[in-house]
Structure 1
Amino acid sequence: MKNKTADRMKREDVPKNQKWDLTALFETKGEWEKELQAVKEDLSNVTMYKGRLQESAKVLLDCLEAKEKLLERFNLVSMYADLRLSVDNTETERQKDSAKASEARSELNAVLSFVENEIIALPEEKVKKFKEEEQGLQLFEKYFADLHERKPHALGEETEEVLAALGSLFSAPYNIYNRGKLSDMQFDSFTDEEGNEWPLSFALYAGKYSSSPSTEVRRNAYDSFNKTLNQYKHTFAAAYAANVNHEVTTARLRSYDSVTDMLLQPQQVTKEMYHNQLDVIQEELAPHMRKYANLKKRVLGLDKMAFADIKAPLDPDFKIETSYEEASETVKEALEIMGPEYMDMINTALTERWVDYADNIGKSTGAFCSSPYGAHPYVLMTWPDTMRGAYTLAHELGHAGHFYLAGKNQRMVNTRPSRYFIEAPSTMNEMLLSNHLLSKTNDNRTKRWVILQQLGTYYHNFVTHLLEGELQRRVYKLAEDGEPLTASVLSEQKVDVLKKFWGDTVEIDEGASLTWMHQPHYYMGLYPYTYSAGLTVSTIVSKQMIEEGKPAVESWLNVLRAGGTLKPLELIKKAGVDMSKPDPIREAVDHVGSLIDELEGSYSGQ
């Protein structure tokens, strides 16, 4: 038996060009340590205003500006520690540094909590008067409005300070999940039909083997992957249960009607909008996806459509292998429609090491973009050697472009829009990449491949993440009803969610029941369902861009520049979409159906 793939690299062996350059944050770790200490010492620049915010408009403005400046500095400190850990979770020193930053974050939040507590306590008339007296306070308009909405749920100043101080404790479930997943889990290698041995990791399974053209590789990797997950399910369930119980308890303490109300409030989304995403897509997309699953089974000649086969490539003999460098050029070409300012950022990101794309031991799975205010964005991904990686790169650069433009046009307090909108700029770039690839070819097989990539995007956001959102909806209801969230309960609920969506077209086995262990999103509040909201928006706006050109592009760029100055409904309306109704969701689902119909037509007669 021979080992098909070399062992994964250690972080220190990764070539420089595959690693991001963190010197934009701090030149050395020593500088980082000095700034961490300096930020803590400079807390007095803000605490000197404690108990005084009602004195005058000038005092209030000075306090807010001092706090913002301090948080800008700490944001870079925190980001540096988090980014260093994300590329090597096995190194003790990085773990310690991240823990230091986390403790400092809790300390800062506790000490600075007086600012929001005192503003919430101010009479509305006084705040209005202060804004009239000091023009600078008008730049904090959205901030004041958000605090006003939280006012009915605020606790006493001492209680708020205590809760803020316990921040690192409340984030422990997420940290335990990541530590277990990225540091402790070791997966057995597996063999293919020829007896070749393949190494396995979270990143390799998600990024490579789950979509392998070989049925043997997909299913054997799946079995080995789930064998290890099964050994950790009780620990992971306990971590997730702790996180949910904390959220449910906090919602009750703050007198929200439900934990869902509490988690939706910062998103500034109505429950109707939330339920629309979950209900409309599950009900109306399911028939299309079942049709797609049956097509795969027929074309690939599978004995059954196993859960391990869902991401099988429909045209396994056709794949566009590409290097990171070649894919970068393709992404740049696809995004040229966005104009010179946006493209300057993209070019810089790809040439000045904003992207970390190596595969090394201990690296976080999946992909993300972190955008510290006052510095440039950073993208983490693992390069898969295929054009599918170009979609991941385009997606994360969508986040980068969003916060780059918001950061250039807004002060820090106004850069972050509702999470409901966050995935629109990222999936927009995937839409533009597909349109570009289709425009470049007359080859039917290549066109079919592009449609499959588009369906990959919709599967990820309209199925994987949406069904995570459905599980969350059920889990919060169970927790509020007092049901213990054990591994068996979570697995039973996940099986039921999957069976209701896939019907009898896909075999939902024990491994499928463990998919609640795959993603960290469950520890981030009501995040998973927002992927479908973002993709709904980008589906419709990308069509407008292709049809209308520059005017639609400029409207979209203005939405990105607006950052967090508007609530999501208003923000998305600026791009010409009304998400208060289910119509856009239905339009997006119909688009997915049309892609599947087109795909099926290309296989007619086979």
Structure 2
Amino acid sequence: MTVRQRHEVAEAETWDLRDLFRTPSNWEAAVEEIPEILPEVTKWKGFVTESGQSLRAALTAREAVMVRLQRITHYAMLGEAGDAADPENQERAARASSLAASVHAELQFIDNEIMTLDEDTLDEFLLEDRQLRTFERYLRHQMQKRAYQLPDAAEAVFAGMGEVLDAPYGIYERSRTSDLVFPDIPLETGGTHPLTYNSFPEVEASQDTAFRRTGTDVFYGALGGYESTYAAVYQTEVRRQVLEARMRGYDSVTEMLLMPQQVTPELYHRQLDTIFTELAPHMRRFARLKKEVLGLEAMTFADLKAPLDPDYAPKMSFEEASRTIVEALRPLGPDYGALMERAVSERWVDYADNAGKRSGAFCANPYGVHPYLLLTWHQSMQDAFTLAHELGHAGHFALASEHQRAANVQSSLYFIEAPSTLNELLLSRYLLDHAEDERMKRWVLLQSLGTYYHNFVTHLLEGEFQRRVYALAEKDTPLTAVRLNEVKLTVLREFWGDEVEIPDYAGRTWMRQPHYYMGLYPYTYSAGLSISTAVMKRMQEDPDTAEQWLEVLKTGGSKTPLELVEDAGLDMAAGTPIQEAVDYVGSVIEQLEHAFTGKDE
């Protein structure tokens, strides 16, 4: 088995970046054009808040530049995501990053001048200029940040150094995709099996216990050769955030990172506390079930993702999965279905498996074009859930882009994972309803549990790790590889208790997560899934809920996350959706216990 190079991949398996720019030459021309159009914005320097009309004109001009810049950066970023080993992709990505930093620095004056406004004057502007109201959420948010604003010169330095300040994430990604090399996995039958970063999920989910455990040892052993470097990179990222929070006068770095999400520290801590405490007993019960069914002498860290029905692994092509997902999402209406059909048929999705490709999955949203989705297809029905998830992001972004101006498309991270996880839940429901035998139903239940495992366990434990890391960083504790490993081990062992043997190498799990370079992102997966679980329940009780949900998606980021949740008919502040989602996980595990052992409790 050899890993294909990018040029060996069929075009149909890759995304079509020509929708952004027809040729690299067109991209070059767009890069050259940016300095030429900046004066349309900079001419407002010193006059941004002169009137409501000047404020709207300055914001509109900046928005036009940022939309063009977004296309430029996405073209470069997506090219590198598809093949980070390509020197041309690397060069374009570096140039785009540098250009973005310089533009942000050049246009920082707009936010600086907005923060000189008082609330009464802003209210007058909004009353006088109806078109300015489309920027109201942005303006209100900027006013909230005023208390933490630095002098203009300092803000200009921060903006101008964006490329440098964001370097830890770039270094981490470049290392993961280009430099990280793994030895082959030795096989009991002789010979070896190749191992890459992107192929490791297949190893984790292998039905061969010896191969799975050996492959996990090899993977984390190889990571160990990079842990000091990765720790230094991650510590730089965390240290930068802590220092900035102190400079700006925040009570904590957590408060600073939550402000863009428009979420209170109380809600953040409750989300983590509730799930970490209430979910653990359910998952330990699942670990016991897996140990019993697989006949394992011990349940180890390497067995957590082992298939519970190892002889049953339905295969599915990308084309078949696409058709199935479109059918599964019919409850969301014909227009949403047509959007999904476009995504899978018009090369919005890059699902090839090739060397140099970024691991994991994501959905990018260049405004005015269409979303782009990345994942790696392994011909498994399980991949269909990843595709459904990313299509959920695509549907959300596309609807918001259609109904909102660019400044109002992006919703809070606290809400962002709700549309994606709802699609997974709808796919599970569809497959359960159309399963032809009990074994298939059992498999679908396992995949449904997999949705919760990924968002409620994997990302929840990452969120808890982050919380503890920031607590250490606030005390200026050095974040060495040894200390980071210890923190991760403690989190894993506290959650799984005595039901799972957690070896020391599992402490390196933190090295696998790029989300740590995206602020307080990991915990938001559990928030999104709590919301989508409640919405799914309401949809089953009242089909009209689907139309209400689509209206929420069209709202984009023009409202706060709790306002969006309220528009969906939920009350996140009460905490009920979180507890309901945890209880649902328990019910799925009970069904699996009955399906595999015949036991009823």
Tell me, yes or no, if the aligned pair for 2:455 and 2:529 is still in contact at 8 Å: yes
Residue identity opposite 1:184 in structure 2: D
Answering whether residue 549 of structure 2 is matched by residue 553 of structure 1, we say: no
Answering whether residue 512 of structure 2 is matched by residue 530 of structure 1, we say: no
In the aligned structure 2, how far is the partner of 1:527 from the partner of 1:277? 13
Structure-to-structure mapping, 1:126-205, within 5 angstroms: 126-205=121-200
Match of 2:382 in 1: 388
Residue identity opposite 1:533 in structure 2: A
Match of 1:454 in 2: 448
Residue number among 401, 416, 422 corresponding to 1:422 in the alignment: 416
Residue number among 575, 579, 602 corresponding to 2:572 in the alignment: 579
Residues 506-558 of structure 1, C-alpha deviation per residue, up to 9 Å, x if partnerless? 11112211000011000000000000000001111012112211x10001001
In the aligned structure 2, how far is the partner of 1:369 from the partner of 1:57? 36
Residue number among 569, 589, 597 corresponding to 1:604 in the alignment: 597
Tell me, yes or no, if the aligned pair for 2:31 and 2:72 is still in contact at 8 Å: yes
Match of 1:3 in 2: none
Match of 2:397 in 1: 403
Match of 1:253 in 2: 247
In the aligned structure 1, how far is the partner of 2:247 from the partner of 2:262? 20
The alignment's TM-score, normalised by the length of structure 2, stands at 0.98
Match of 1:93 in 2: 88
Answering whether residue 199 of structure 2 is matched by residue 223 of structure 1, we say: no
SS in 1 for 2:226: helix
In the aligned structure 1, how far is the partner of 2:305 from the partner of 2:459? 15
In the aligned structure 2, how far is the partner of 1:331 from the partner of 1:347? 9
Match of 2:72 in 1: 77
In the aligned structure 2, how far is the partner of 1:260 from the partner of 1:410? 30
Answering whether residue 108 of structure 2 is matched by residue 116 of structure 1, we say: no
The alignment's TM-score, normalised by the length of structure 1, stands at 0.98
Aligned residues: 599
* Range with bigger deviation, 398-407 or 535-544: 535-544
Tell me, yes or no, if the aligned pair for 1:10 and 1:360 is still in contact at 8 Å: yes
Structure 2 unaligned residues grouped into runs of 5+: none
Tell me, yes or no, if the aligned pair for 1:273 and 1:581 is still in contact at 8 Å: no
Match of 1:10 in 2: 5
Structure-to-structure mapping, 1:231-380, within 5 angstroms: 231-380=225-374
1:267 deviation in Å?
Answer: 0.4
Residue number among 407, 412, 434 corresponding to 1:413 in the alignment: 407
Match of 2:17 in 1: 22
1:302 deviation in Å?
Answer: 1.0
Residue identity opposite 1:120 in structure 2: M
Tell me, yes or no, if the aligned pair for 1:40 and 1:104 is still in contact at 8 Å: no
In the aligned structure 2, how far is the partner of 1:54 from the partner of 1:320? 61
1:582 deviation in Å?
Answer: 2.2
Residue identity opposite 1:416 in structure 2: Q
1:193 deviation in Å?
Answer: 3.3
1:573 deviation in Å?
Answer: 1.0
Tell me, yes or no, if the aligned pair for 1:410 and 1:562 is still in contact at 8 Å: yes
SS in 2 for 1:9: coil
Tell me, yes or no, if the aligned pair for 2:322 and 2:344 is still in contact at 8 Å: yes
In the aligned structure 2, how far is the partner of 1:25 from the partner of 1:605? 55
Residue identity opposite 2:107 in structure 1: L
Tell me, yes or no, if the aligned pair for 1:241 and 1:485 is still in contact at 8 Å: yes
Residue identity opposite 1:361 in structure 2: A
1:337 deviation in Å?
Answer: 1.2
1:138 deviation in Å?
Answer: 1.1
Residues 424-472 of structure 1, C-alpha deviation per residue, up to 9 Å, x if partnerless? 0000000000000000025111111011001111111101100000010
Match of 1:541 in 2: 535
In the aligned structure 2, how far is the partner of 1:192 from the partner of 1:313? 20
Match of 1:591 in 2: 584
In the aligned structure 1, how far is the partner of 2:547 from the partner of 2:188? 53
Structure 1 unaligned residues grouped into runs of 5+: 1-5
In the aligned structure 2, how far is the partner of 1:599 from the partner of 1:177? 39
Residue identity opposite 1:490 in structure 2: L
SS in 1 for 2:288: helix
Residues 559-587 of structure 1, C-alpha deviation per residue, up to 9 Å, x if partnerless? 10000111111111111111112221111
In the aligned structure 1, how far is the partner of 2:574 from the partner of 2:188? 50
In the aligned structure 2, how far is the partner of 1:491 from the partner of 1:125? 51
1:132 deviation in Å?
Answer: 2.1
